[in-house]
A and B are shown apart, each in its own frame.
Chain A
């Protein structure tokens, strides 16, 4: 599903964000990527969504070599990889439902399709009662659920969660991880990039540990070891 093959990324003057990193994630896996700040986790995410380019090596998503992806192709890549972030990245002047619909509107989906998809997704993430609320009127957990719903609008095969629980209390964090597991059970590959030791240890899933841009550990049912 996802292959990093001797991926290297340098930032001037001398920072090696990714240093010959190689890994392989299978379809339908739930993988946690852990590591200290500056270890290269965020660079991996950025390279996966086309925000950064590798200096050398390769990244393959499905059958698609995205290493030298053109600017024109990036939107198509991003419709295949759902992404959620620590700060939710919701538009404050739109309701939760409008935020989800917005992702479909900007890609030219018809109103009929949008009206069919949005309520269904809001129900899946448990927000069918809060659809018309604005982000400022709901909790952090509910905002993250809306962000997950938005990430799922194109039924992506991969869901990339970059520190999704970073701004949440433990109860909300647990609910979000439960939701990610539920999505994973439907067949979506979930990549969880996190600092949260408790979350990783409770998951009991594959853990990739990154340090100084290198993969230092790959455990099938791993723990947070740093």
Chain B
């Protein structure tokens, strides 16, 4: 048994080495497939991060009446913070609002001059509410609308809702299209892999026939080819990682510049999930390879 196992491994390596160019072509196809899959995954991560970031920038503001005591405002803030889908409620006092306004328009002396001519601070204090899940925006607005408090001067709900609806619509469409394109792409790649493995085994058909004629068992005929498939898969996954990580290192600074402030870190994403990603890719490709090998060897060993 051990001797047979040793021979299966030996024949598997021999098969890969003696058909070097065919093996290289098969491994190259695997690398191209896995690289493309990783690229698709990266695009999805970038897209998702960009959309999430955009959603996080959408907040709900409640503007308060002037001259209200700070205690009452903090009470209202606590009430709002207790609502289910509220992540955070930020209180901006009249003075803070004015300071922020000044900062924003420091390069515009005309506006600042106009502000100085006013006797009092024209800005109101506000409470900015950030939702936990922007997709539940509508529910949150409903709950906020139920809160009737004499402190509240106005609310900005409606404009933000339209914006969020638009973002959600675009995100859903992008996701749908991405899933369709990824599925088609994956299907093509799996077929390419399937056929290249079949082609590799086709070139061994004479050997398979001879093995059958000299009385080799079906297991002994199939096993070296299945083992070769595993060698192709492992080599393909490792080489893809070896090529993809330097590519990510080169890409990351460009992402940082292009998506400034969006905090899109592909390198950390892949680093924290490399085992999961490489493992799933290995399992997927190995399954396709093994199935293709099994079917192809079976076809030529039917004598």
Residues of A within 8 A of B (CB): 49, 51, 71-72, 75-79, 83, 89-91, 93, 102-103, 105-108, 110, 150, 153-154
Complex-state Cα separation, A201 to B114, whole angstroms: 125
Number of B interface residues in the complex (CB < 8 A): 19
Q: Which residues of B have CB within 8 Å of A107?
A: 214-217, 220
Identify the closest chain B residue to A82 (Cβ): B214
Give the contacting residue for A78; candidates B3, B18, B214, B220; CB below 8 A: B214
Complex-state Cα separation, A144 to B209, whole angstroms: 17
Shortest beta-carbon distance, B227 to chain A, in Å?
Answer: 14
Q: Which 10 A-B pairs have the closest CB atoms?
A: A106-B216, A103-B214, A78-B215, A79-B215, A75-B215, A75-B217, A108-B4, A51-B303, A89-B210, A106-B211
Residues of B within 8 A of A (CB): 3-4, 7, 18, 206-207, 209-218, 220-221, 303
Identify the closest chain A residue to B10 (Cβ): A105
| Contact A78 B213, beta carbon cutoff 8 Å | yes
Identify the closest chain B residue to A52 (Cβ): B303
Identify the closest chain A residue to B210 (Cβ): A89
| Contact A75 B216, beta carbon cutoff 8 Å | yes
Shortest beta-carbon distance, B236 to chain A, in Å?
Answer: 25
Residue from A51, A108, A150 with most neighbouring chain B CB atoms (10 Å): A108
| Contact A91 B215, beta carbon cutoff 8 Å | no
Q: Which residues of A have CB within 8 Å of B206?
A: 89, 91
The DSSP consensus for interface residues of chain B is helix
Identify the closest chain B residue to A108 (Cβ): B4
Known contacts A89-B209, A93-B18, A154-B215; A106 and B303 CB within 8 A of each other: no
Q: Which residues of B have CB within 8 Å of A154?
A: 215
| Contact A103 B207, beta carbon cutoff 8 Å | no
| Contact B213 A89, beta carbon cutoff 8 Å | yes
Residue from A102, A106, A108, A150 with most neighbouring chain B CB atoms (10 Å): A106
Give the contacting residue for B214; candidates A77, A106, A108; CB below 8 A: A106
| Contact A83 B216, beta carbon cutoff 8 Å | no
Known contacts A89-B209, A89-B210, A91-B206; A110 and B215 CB within 8 A of each other: no
Q: Which residues of A have CB within 8 Å of B210?
A: 89-91, 102
Shortest beta-carbon distance, A192 to chain B, in Å?
Answer: 18
Q: Which residues of A have CB within 8 Å of B212?
A: 78
| Contact A71 B218, beta carbon cutoff 8 Å | yes
Shortest beta-carbon distance, B169 to chain A, in Å?
Answer: 58
Identify the closest chain B residue to A109 (Cβ): B3
Given A107-B216, A150-B214, list of 9 further CB < 8 A pairs?
A75-B217, A78-B215, A83-B213, A93-B18, A103-B214, A106-B7, A107-B214, A107-B217, A110-B3
Shortest beta-carbon distance, B10 to chain A, in Å?
Answer: 9
Give the contacting residue for A105; candidates B7, B209, B218, B303; CB below 8 A: B7
Complex-state Cα separation, A90 to B221, whole angstroms: 16
Complex A-B: 5 CB contacts under 8 Å:
A76-B215, A78-B215, A91-B206, A106-B214, A150-B214
Give the contacting residue for A103; candidates B7, B215, B217; CB below 8 A: B215
Shortest beta-carbon distance, B2 to chain A, in Å?
Answer: 10
Identify the closest chain A residue to B7 (Cβ): A105
Q: Which residues of B have CB within 8 Å of A78?
A: 212-215
Complex-state Cα separation, A91 to B206, whole angstroms: 8
Identify the closest chain B residue to A100 (Cβ): B214
